[in-house]
Structure 1
Amino acid sequence: MQYSTGKHCVFYHRYHLVWSTEYRYKVLRGDIKLRVRDICRQVCAENGVDIIRGVLSNDHVHMFVSVPPKLVISNLMRLMKGRSSHKVQREFPHLKKRYWGQQFWGRGYFSTTNGAITEDVVLQYLQTHIQNPTDASR
């Protein structure tokens, strides 16, 4: 177990985050998938979040992250979903036509700490999700 440090604290906060596209449309492919990945990395870097593992499927995103205590998970999700939705729809005009009047991402998200399960179980799940992304999440 590796502890992280802030100016006045020592912490170990690991979160498993999952969110999906609106209506689970399978649009996270090719350049869109790469752009969403880059935007999520950028938001995490700006806020001091370490990405331990991340997996993008065609219709949802899994991230296992280390979050500093000053950052609220709902704010992190708001930043990642909001910025990626805005930029992707602006950079890929065909998506804006499809999602006109709708959101790119679904309304909610899933978040859990790894207190109930071990870190190895989450990492093993994400590894199997990379190998078979459609069956592992259902």
Structure 2
Amino acid sequence: MEDEHIFKSHNKTLLVYHLVFPMKYRRKVLNEVSGETLKFICKEISERYEIEFIEIGYESDHVHFLIQSVPSLSLSQIVRTVKSITGRELFRLHPEIKQVLWGGNIWTSGFYANTVGQYGNKEVIQKYIENQGKEKQYTKIYTGQLRLF
């Protein structure tokens, strides 16, 4: 991936996410034709929202997205937007999918998400931070695992 920062009036960002959406009940519904439709739908999403699809890949029962977006869109908003539009349009354009997936949802309620760093992994970034301001002594005041309750 090239250096594709997004420039806004007061910030410069490079926020890239790897998202995986499994099909409801892990049904094998995607094929070459519906995969092309998915690509077309994602291109339309890019035109309407600040969501850029860097890469899209699929197996018959799940889809991988490499997505770049802006900080004003939370990960939850990105997931909700992509899932709702792609699901609705795939059902509309491929009614045969409804015969395999009942209940009105094409995707499971869950998803996998991971951030993608162009400039290094966690250890590289930690080392970079430690080496800032060499004329001053760097003092680490905390290290640990983030815990969400």
Distance in 1, matches of 2:4 and 2:109, equals 33
- Aligned ranges 1:1-138 → 2 under 5 Å: 1-115=3-117, 118=120
Higher helix proportion, which one? Answer: 1
Determine what percentage of the aligned residue pairs are the same residue: 26
| Structure 2: gaps spanning 5 or more residues | 122-149
Q: TM-score, normalised by structure 1?
A: 0.74
Q: TM-score, normalised by structure 2?
A: 0.69
Distance in 2, matches of 1:22 and 1:42, equals 23
Moved over 4 A (4+): none
| Change over 3 Å in CA distance of 1:44–1:118 after alignment to 2 | farther
Deviation string 1:51-106 (CA, Å, 9 cap, x unpaired) is 22221221111111221111112111111111111121122222223323242111
Contact kept? 2:27, 2:101, Cα under 8 Å: no
| Structure 1: gaps spanning 5 or more residues | 120-138
Contact kept? 1:37, 1:56, Cα under 8 Å: no
Task: Describe the SS at the equivalent of 2:30.
Answer: coil
| Change over 3 Å in CA distance of 1:2–1:104 after alignment to 2 | closer
Offset, 1:118 = 4.7
Aligned-CA RMSD value: 2.3
| Change over 3 Å in CA distance of 1:70–1:62 after alignment to 2 | same
